[in-house]
Amino acid sequence: MSVGRMKRSNWFYFRTVIFYAFLLFLYGPIAVMGVLSFQGETGGLTFPMRGASVHWFADVFNPSYIGDFRWPWGRSVILALIIMFLTMTISFLAGLAFRKGFRGNTFFFYLVVASLIAPSILISLGIGRMFTSLEMQSAWWSGALGAHLTWTLPFGVLIMLAIFSRFDPRTEEAARDLGATTWQTLKSVIIPITLPGLVGVALFGFTLSYDEYARTSQVSGEYNTLPLELVSVTGTASTPALYAIGTMTTIFSLLVIGISFLSLFIIQKRRSGASIGIKES
Amino acid sequence: MSVSKRKKTNSVSRRTVLKGTAAAAGVGAAATLGGFPTVWAQDLKDITIRQLGLAVSNMDPFAKMATDALGFTVEQTAVDLGTVGNRGITQPKSFDLLEPAYMQFKFVWPTGNFQPVDVNRLSEWDKVSGIYKESGKGWDDAWLGDGQRPNSVMYVDGAGSDFKAPGSTDQVAAMPILHNADTLGIRPDEIGRPISSWGELLNDEFNGKTALVGFPAIGGMDAAMALEALGLVSYADKGNMTKAEIDATFKQLIEWKKKGHFRALWTTFNESVNLMLSGEVVIQSMWSPAVTAVRAKGIPCVYQDLKEGYRSWSLALMIPKHVEGKKLDATYDYLNWYLSGPAGAFFAKQGYYVVTPENTKKELSPEEWDFWYEGKAAATEIRDPFGNLLEKAGAIRDGGSYKNRMGRVAVWNSVMAENEYLTEKWNEFVAS
Amino acid sequence: MAHLFEKIQRYSTALQMTPLGIALLLFLIGPIIVILITSFWKFNGFLTIPDFTVRNYVKLFTSGLTLDNYLETIRIAAIVWITTTVLGFIIAYYLVFDVLSLKAKMLLFLLCVVPFWTSGVIRMIAWIPFLGKEGVINRVLMSIGITDEPLEFLLFSEFAVILSYVHVFTLFMVAPLFNTMARIDPALIEAARDNGAKGWQILLHVIIPLCKPGIAIGTIFVLSLTLSDFTAVRLLSGANVGTVALSISNQIGSYNFAYSSANSLFLLIVLLLIVGGIMRLVDVRKQL
């Protein structure tokens, strides 16, 4: 990129310093969490460290009065996976429709934006009261699922819109001119080209759902999701087990992300050379 | 039939007796046999009771203890107090037993989501503290306390009914289980002089080093205790303030806040512990187990006995309407077990009281009883229910004896008639 | 499958939009209608009772608290917005123009994203050991002699809340800005330079105008996140800061569903107006 070739001014160093300072700022609390999760057995949630141990990691798997995290964790992972799948599918389909354009597409676009900006507490209260008024029981797989969708779908749809807006329609036309059916076009042209975007949608969907608290707060029903359990425990347990959970869930997320990127990388590798129509990701 | 033995003269309606006959006979038999589980438990073993309450009294070891004793499964889920009420109001089917505080009864009970508890089916009812009976006192010279006494929001006749005069019916909205008295927690090492009055909460000496509990009604009452002690505001009833009293209280609070007097308002147990542990505050509203938690980290902290008395609270178990048949029988078995002693010992060792002290005494060693209830110096090491050392021999419990705490209740945790107004003023206080 | 697909094709657009439509109808429009209805109900101090009263709205628009809450919220949002925009711009600029290799760009961007895989709640709580009176920052400041007394404004204050917002929300500004900046044709900048434009002139007259859509999208993210949050306020302000969302959450906490409905509906309207205004200024959709 030619801009990069310009003389490195003081401003360049200023920006570099800002960027790395920001990274430091981003990682600060996480580093504290990581360090404090190795707090000694008599230590608390804040500094100073009273020795070092892996006691609190063991504590997570030996539930006594801090509650059992394993089930909420499992629920959150399952919910996040369902949300990921739904968000990908729904956003992809909506993306196809938006691309063609249809009557009322502006209305739908604004609806999606409204869903993005709707205050989390309104969604949570509203879904909760809707279930109450229908005399139904909200649960993490029903009410909370819906609440999460209102949050992940806008991101999914907006990303798909961005992807499709850079998608060169001529690629598709070419495929059709060569006699491909719609199904074939979709399978062999559209999906492969939009795949990086779809993976992005999936990652967004998973992360936003996995860590969602405010929208879930009124609608999780009988059983807590992990963020709810964590908030509940932050209120009652004053032990570094909390940080140990934080550290472990972070490592878990990194594994998930790592695996997704790796698989994406492998897919891309296999397809190398078939880079058609996509301008820039 | 054993039920008639415990029946107070002519106080059981015919309907109640008929309805409750079969089950009551079983429970009655169990009570007569004096032990749990009974033969009935075998029918009940597939039953699971899902209890929803606070973390102080809902934890895996306790649920396991109940399950082992009863032969059916007791599951406990811990949430914060606000959620307990919210779930009771909006999702009554998401649990089989709710554990609200008495101060929430006026929100939860009138929804009609709950069925009354029939006291004739409670084997230990006659041993329940007088606080929950007609007199409203555990013993004669005990203080009655301002505000919403538990017995004033207890007696009912039918689901969702109005609250009746204490002791006038055989049905209660919920069965009382636990109570304790709250006061100020202090860091004696940082303060370095004796503290004896609630007024110290508003002492310039502790500017920026105090905290208040962040629930509007409770925080308001703690502030009222301090303001009254200083003679700045006087109250007819601190637990049921008039609009003028609320105005006067918050006018003062906002002035103090503007001076930077309050470091924080805490809403969870853990926040109060961390405020003390990390040296953020030296004097604040506090719960007794929180003081214990601070001390467990090696930081000196005292649950300070104050001359104006205590602010008390109580928890109870409320049965939602959907519980019926065998599940209801099992629920009553659990309620009866709760008051029968083992639970009392379990909670006594964490610093609060099950409402049947006589039964608790049976399950504690004499040394433990003397320490926890009589306020005497520990004759042996004092351990919590999990075996952790709490106090060495010779230690004396702060707050003194059971009688000193529960006999000197200055005010009960309450929801006032002017609750909405108070909440609004509280939000102004927060925003100021 | 293929045959079925051809058949479906005829109604394709409607079918493709159906899942999104159902999801938003059930979980966005449905709840908003329920909230609208509830906002006309009555709260008797203890129970929320079906009714038709405008009392909640009268209270909302006459209470001094509403104004205080909104002023406080808007002030915080403004500070957060300015900070995240400036920071986000510099970071995006660095990633797009200063970092040359694509791999390095991706790696650095990923580094910015990784902290988001940690629980948000724990990330917020982890600020407490940093900012407290005996926290990391105060210890450092005191040990190097910058201050003798611990700085109290760091924790349980508006500062702590703003800091945690900037911490979490900056990335929501970086991502769209990165996206728009990456699409700026370098030839444009080259041309401007050839015509004698100085660095700041290029920034002001070429780059910033071209970044408007990115800033607009980032602003929508940051503002809606800031205005809806009550968790950070609760955990880090020591309840010393009164924002709109916290007030609503407190009203739900005292079971006043009627008033909290009216209040949250009004917040939604305020947000819609702000975002509508932004979208009127910048055609966000066209720029996606």
Q: How many CB pairs under 8 A join B and C?
A: 87
End-to-end CA distance of chain C: 33
Q: How many CB atoms lie within 10 A of CB B386?
A: 12
Residue B390 has pLDDT above 90, yes or no: no
More confident residue, A79 or A46: A79
Length of chain A: 281
Q: Of the candidates B310, B269, B283, B292, which has an alpha carbon nearest to the alpha carbon of residue B182?
A: B310
pLDDT averaged over chain B?
86
CA angle in degrees (0–180, nearest 5) for B258-B262-B268: 135
For C146-182, write each residue's pLDDT tens digit.
Answer: 888 888 888 888 999 999 999 999 999 998 999 888 8
Find tokens 């008039």 and name the residue. B242
Closest CA–CA distance from residue B59 to any residue of chain A (Å): 5
Q: According to the model, what pLDDT value does residue A238 have?
A: 63
Q: Is C31 touching B (CB cutoff 8 A)?
A: no
More confident residue, A68 or B336: B336
Which pair of tokens denotes residue C208?
Answer: 């910033």
Q: According to the model, what pLDDT value does residue B8 have?
A: 36
- The type of residue at C4 is L
Q: What are the start-end ranges of the H helices in B49-171?
A: 60-70, 81-90, 105-108
Closest CA–CA distance from residue C64 to any residue of chain A (Å): 22
- CA–CA distance, A80 with A206 (Å, rounded to integer): 5
Residues B205, B333 within the same domain: no
Regarding an ipTM greater than 0.85, the answer is yes
Pairwise CB contact (< 8 Å): A237 & B55:
yes
Partners of B216 on chain C (C-beta within 8 Å) are: 250, 254
Q: Which sequence spans correspond to the domains of chain C?
A: 64-287
Residues B164, B214 within the same domain: no
Query: Which among B267, B280, B427 has CB closest to C65?
Result: B427
CA atoms B210, B213, B214, B219: torsion sign: negative
- CA–CA distance, A215 with A138 (Å, rounded to integer): 13
- CA–CA distance, A225 with A241 (Å, rounded to integer): 17
Rg (CA), chain A: 23
- Considering chain B, what percentage of its residues have pLDDT values greater than 70? 90
Is the separation of the CB atoms in B321 and B415 below 8 Å?
A: no
Q: Is B85 touching C (CB cutoff 8 A)?
A: yes
- The type of residue at B269 is F
What is the DSSP annotation of A5-69? GS---HHHHHHHHHHHHHHHHHHHHHHHHHHHTTB-TT--SSSSP-SB-SHHHHHHTS-STT---
Residues B105, B34 within the same domain: yes
Classify residue B349: in a domain, yes or no.
Answer: no
Q: Of the candidates B174, B75, A63, B338, which has an alpha carbon nearest to the alpha carbon of residue B346?
A: B338
Residues B167, B53 within the same domain: yes
- CA–CA distance, B347 with B382 (Å, rounded to integer): 14
Which pair of tokens denotes residue C15?
Answer: 């079918």
Pairwise CB contact (< 8 Å): A93 & C17:
yes
Mutation for testing the A interface, residue in B51, B90, B291 having most A CBs under 10 Å:
B90
Classify residue B69: in a domain, yes or no.
Answer: yes
Pairwise CB contact (< 8 Å): B60 & A224:
no
Residues B117, B215 within the same domain: no
Q: Of the candidates C1, B176, C220, C182, which has an alpha carbon nearest to the alpha carbon of residue A184?
A: C1
Minimal Cα distance from C47: which residue of B? B107
CA atoms A47, A48, A52, A58: torsion sign: negative
Which pair of tokens denotes residue B46?
Answer: 């597939």
- Residue B263 φ then ψ, to 5°: -70, -40
Q: Is C46 touching B (CB cutoff 8 A)?
A: yes
Residues B11, B127 within the same domain: yes
Beta-bridge partner residues of B101: B315
Closest CA–CA distance from residue B428 to any residue of chain A (Å): 21
Is the separation of the CB atoms in B408 and B311 below 8 Å?
A: no
Minimal Cα distance from C136: which residue of B? B278
Which pair of tokens denotes residue C157?
Answer: 């204050």
Pairwise CB contact (< 8 Å): C119 & A150:
no
Q: In what helix (H) or strand (E) does residue B359 lie, and over which residues does it extend?
A: helix B357-363
Residues B123, B68 within the same domain: yes
Is the separation of the CB atoms in B77 and B146 below 8 Å?
A: no
Pairwise CB contact (< 8 Å): A235 & B297:
no
Residue A217 has pLDDT above 60, yes or no: yes
Mutation for testing the B interface, residue in C240, C257, C260 having most B CBs under 10 Å:
C240
- CA–CA distance, C38 with C32 (Å, rounded to integer): 10
CA atoms C124, C126, C127, C133: torsion sign: positive
- Asked whether the bond before B92 is cis by omega within 30 degrees of 0, the reply is no
- Asked whether the bond before A48 is cis by omega within 30 degrees of 0, the reply is yes
Is the separation of the CB atoms in C139 and C216 below 8 Å?
A: no
Which pair of tokens denotes residue A181?
Answer: 């059916």
Is the separation of the CB atoms in C117 and C247 below 8 Å?
A: no
Q: What are the start-end ranges of the H helices in B140-215?
A: 188-191
Residue B4 has pLDDT above 80, yes or no: no
Q: How confident is the model at residue C6 (pLDDT cuts 50, 70, 90)?
A: low
Pairwise CB contact (< 8 Å): C91 & A119:
no
Residues B141, B253 within the same domain: no
pLDDT averaged over chain C?
88
Give Cα B141 to chain centroid, integer Å.
21
Q: How confident is the model at residue C24 (pLDDT cuts 50, 70, 90)?
A: very high
Q: Of the candidates B349, B333, B411, which has an alpha carbon nearest to the alpha carbon of residue B30?
A: B333
- CA–CA distance, A13 with C58 (Å, rounded to integer): 55
Q: According to the model, what pLDDT value does residue A16 have?
A: 93
Residues B144, B251 within the same domain: no
Q: Is B48 touching A (CB cutoff 8 A)?
A: no
Find tokens 């809902």 and name the residue. B58
Q: Is C68 touching B (CB cutoff 8 A)?
A: yes
- CA–CA distance, A279 with A269 (Å, rounded to integer): 18
Is the separation of the CB atoms in A152 and A120 below 8 Å?
A: no
pLDDT averaged over chain A?
82
Q: According to the model, what pLDDT value does residue A63 have?
A: 58
B 67-96 residues inside an 8 A Cβ radius of A:
77-80, 83, 86, 90-91, 93-95
- CA–CA distance, C10 with C286 (Å, rounded to integer): 27
- CA–CA distance, A79 with B394 (Å, rounded to integer): 53
Q: According to the model, what pLDDT value does residue B338 have?
A: 97
Pairwise CB contact (< 8 Å): A119 & C268:
yes
Mutation for testing the C interface, residue in B114, B256, B427, B432 having most C CBs under 10 Å:
B427
For C198-225, write each residue's pLDDT tens digit.
Answer: 878 888 888 898 899 899 999 999 999 9
Burial label, B403 (beta-carbon count in 10 A; 0-12, 13-18, 19+): middle
Q: What are the start-end ranges of the H helices in chain C?
A: 2-9, 12-24, 30-38, 55-62, 64-93, 102-113, 120-125, 128-131, 136-143, 158-182, 186-194, 199-202, 208-228, 231-236, 244-253, 257-281, 284-287
Classify residue B382: in a domain, yes or no.
Answer: no
Closest CA–CA distance from residue A273 to any residue of chain C (Å): 18
Q: In what helix (H) or strand (E) does residue A106 lie, and over which residues does it extend?
A: helix A105-117
| Pair type for strands B114-115 and B283-286 | unpaired
Range of the domain at B416: 184-309+408-431
Among residues B300, B322, B339, which one ends one of the domains?
Answer: B339
Q: Is B293 touching C (CB cutoff 8 A)?
A: no
Minimal Cα distance from A68: which residue of B? B60
Pairwise CB contact (< 8 Å): A32 & C136:
yes
Segment A63-70 mean pLDDT: 64
Residues B15, B107 within the same domain: yes
CATH number of the domain to which B87 belongs: 3.40.190
For A33-65, write each residue's pLDDT tens digit.
Answer: 888 888 887 777 777 777 788 888 887 776 555
Classify residue B15: in a domain, yes or no.
Answer: yes
For B95-135, write each residue's pLDDT tens digit.
Answer: 999 999 999 999 999 999 999 999 999 999 999 999 999 99
Which pair of tokens denotes residue B219?
Answer: 């925080």
Is the separation of the CB atoms in C249 and C230 below 8 Å?
A: yes
- CA–CA distance, B117 with A1 (Å, rounded to integer): 77
Q: According to the model, what pLDDT value does residue B82 have?
A: 84
Pairwise CB contact (< 8 Å): B278 & C47:
no
- The type of residue at B83 is T
Q: According to the model, what pLDDT value does residue C139 have?
A: 85
Classify residue B323: in a domain, yes or no.
Answer: yes
For B261-313, write each residue's pLDDT tens digit.
Answer: 999 888 878 788 888 988 889 999 988 878 888 887 788 999 999 999 999 99
B 190-229 residues inside an 8 A Cβ radius of C:
208, 211, 214, 216
Residue A255 has pLDDT above 80, yes or no: yes
Pairwise CB contact (< 8 Å): C128 & B278:
yes
DSSP B180: E
Q: Which of A111-120, B26-35, B243-252, B302-311 has the lowest mean pLDDT?
A: B26-35
- The type of residue at B321 is K
Residue B36 has pLDDT above 50, yes or no: no
Which pair of tokens denotes residue C14?
Answer: 């409607």
Residue C110 has pLDDT above 90, yes or no: no
DSSP A52: B
Q: Is B273 touching A (CB cutoff 8 A)?
A: yes
Classify residue B209: in a domain, yes or no.
Answer: yes
Is the separation of the CB atoms in A99 and A186 below 8 Å?
A: no
Pairwise CB contact (< 8 Å): B424 & C155:
no
| Pair type for strands B353-354 and B175-186 | antiparallel
Which pair of tokens denotes residue A65?
Answer: 């009065």
Classify residue B389: in a domain, yes or no.
Answer: no
- CA–CA distance, B336 with B31 (Å, rounded to integer): 9
Q: According to the model, what pLDDT value does residue C10 have?
A: 64
C64-287 adopts what CATH topology? MetI-like fold (1.10.3720)
**Domains of chain B: total:** 2
Residues B160, B195 within the same domain: no
Map residue B87 onto helix, strand or coil.
helix
Is the separation of the CB atoms in A83 and A151 below 8 Å?
A: no
Pairwise CB contact (< 8 Å): B78 & A237:
no
Q: Of the candidates A78, A76, A2, A62, which has an alpha carbon nearest to the alpha carbon of residue A230?
A: A76
Residues B144, B41 within the same domain: yes
Partners of B422 on chain C (C-beta within 8 Å) are: none
Classify residue B20: in a domain, yes or no.
Answer: yes
Q: Is C245 touching B (CB cutoff 8 A)?
A: no
